[in-house]
Amino acid sequence: MGNTPTWPSLLTTLLGSRDLSVSESTWAMRQVMQGNATSAQLAGLLVALRFKGETVDEIVGFRDAVLESAVPLPIDPHALDIVGTGGDPYGAVLNISSVASVIAAAAGVPVVKHGNRGASSASGASDVLSELGVNVGIPAERVAEVFTETGITLAFASLFHPGFRHAAATRKELGVSTLFNILGPLCNPARPEASAVGVANIDAVPLMAGVFQARGATALVYRGDDGIDKLTTTGHSRIWEVSNGSVKQHDLDPLDLGIPRAEIGSLLGKDAAYNADVVRRVLAGEHGPARDVVLLNTAAGLVAYELAEDPSRFGVSILDRLQAKLETAAESIDSGAAAAKLTEWVDATNR
């Protein structure tokens, strides 16, 4: 019993700038998922971790606890998740990963999107998808059926991780990026083999890449230099490409792909209704900064999926691969396939 962690011992460790072990992290997250942690204990954990800086071992422990308590999602893991951590300094970036997921699915890539309501942003993935007509509240077994029928589905975090409800109020009250922003992209219950993950907190980017590296997973992890959890078009982005335990870093200037510079204001959204309108206009073929950034992030997802299928692509120029997938993404929109895929998805979730 003497070796059993306690909240005072864990918080004392963190406040002393010492790291938690995997087992200590797992214990703490189990307490949260089971509703046994008070709001004060959880807030202390989140703030202390943010101040100290999380480690790969800590994130692995937290993730293990979340996944062991998840509702099962029996889906072929040969799929893609395009997701962002949220927590950018603007609080209102367009829901780029959501529309990119639709475009990728229309291009023939199976997509299991992991998302939740907005916690540190004005509109989360589930908020905008609901506004577009996707029924995000369907039962877990129907989520798998929709994937089989349409090639795309949403693993709504609140449904598959019911323990998250115990952290929701504290996260909302804190209003800043926390451990949960890092965990979200790592806790897709389908455990897809390919991930394209945007991370707003620069300190968390190598951390996220390190977790994928430790798992031997395939991922593109990236951050815009303007602070958004996307490949940006306002300037450079940094990419960590992960494949079979190896990591390669890239600096990306969208000008090298023929994408013009954008102002940050053109990438910012508002509430779910506003963001959904932007999605509809992009899928209808409207050109402009929103389309450009959506195509770029769709291309990242398609590159990640191709890399999972063929790890030898790791040795090919990232610019060449992104350029080819930009063309695939544009065709998905301009042919009408992406708009049709969204309609198909909406219909399937509402039957």
Tens of pLDDT, residue by residue over 177-193, are 788 888 888 999 999 99
Question: For the residues 307-322, what does the mean pLDDT come to?
Answer: 97
Question: For the residues 332-348, what does the mean pLDDT come to?
Answer: 98
Partner residues linked to 221 by β-bridges? 197, 240
Neighbours of 206 (CB within 10 A): 17
d(CA 58, CA 20): 6
d(CA 144, CA 149): 9
Q: Tell me what pLDDT residue 144 has.
A: 96
Mean pLDDT of the chain: 93
Nearest Cα to 116, choosing from 179, 161, 52?
161
* pLDDT above 70 for 121: no
Nearest Cα to 106, choosing from 133, 87, 80, 130?
80
Rounded to whole angstroms, the maximal C-alpha distance in the chain is: 64
Out of 17-31, 137-151, 203-217, 302-316, pick the least confident.
203-217
Q: Tell me what pLDDT residue 87 has.
A: 75
Question: For the residues 284-305, what does the mean pLDDT come to?
Answer: 98
Q: How far is CA 31 from CA 22, 62, 157, in A?
A: 14, 11, 18
Question: For the residues 107-118, what does the mean pLDDT come to?
Answer: 87
The model's pTM is 0.91
Give 118's pLDDT tier (boundaries 50, 70, 90): low
Neighbours of 216 (CB within 10 A): 11
